[in-house]
Amino acid sequence: MPSETLEKDPILETDFVQEVIRQLRALDTFGARDGMSDHQLLERLLLTRERLREIPMVGTPDAEALTRLRVFYNALAALIERECGRMATPMIQVNAEGFGRVIVSVGKLLVLDRTLRDVHRFGFESLSRMKTEADKQLSVALNILGDHPKAAGI
C-alpha cells in the first residue's frame, strides 16, 4: 500500500494500530527507525503478495519476521490488558525452522493459544486484515476472561 494511501486510512486511528506503532517504536532499542514516520513503520509490517513471492516457502525466520510477530502479539496483549485491567503477558517460542507457539496469559489463565507455522512469512496483506485478525483474537481472549474471571485474578 503506498504511503499516501496509508496516510488517509481511518484505520490508523484505531486503538490496535496505535498500539502497534507504540510497540514498533519500543522494540527499536537502537533507534534505527527514529526518523521514520508512523506510515513508514507500518509499511514494514505489511507483506503484500509481491513481497510474499520474494520470500521462499521454506526458510529460517529473520529478525524482521520475528519483529512483525512480536509487535502483533505484544499489541494484542496490551489491548487485552487495557480491557481487563490485569497484566497480559505474551510468551512466544519459535524454533529455527519457523514453527512454534504463542500464548498470552492473564493471571493463571491462558487467554490466547496459537500454533505458529512459517514464521518467516508472518505478516498481513493490509492493515485492515491485520486489524480484523487482531479483533478476532481479542474477542476470543475477552470471552475466555469473561468465562473464567477467578483464574485471571479479576
Opening angle at CA 154, ends 152 and 116, nearest 5: 30
Residue 66's Cβ-side half-sphere holds a number of Cα atoms within 13 Å equal to: 17
pLDDT at 86 over 50: yes
SS3 content of the chain, % helix, strand, coil (to 5): 55, 15, 30
Share of the chain above pLDDT 70, in %: 95
- Which residues span the domain enclosing 75? 3-152
| Domain total in the chain | 1
The burial class, CB within 10 Å (0-12 / 13-18 / 19+), for 111 is: buried
pLDDT at 79 over 80: yes
Specify the CATH number for the domain of residue 103: 1.10.3100.20
Mean pLDDT of 124-143: 95
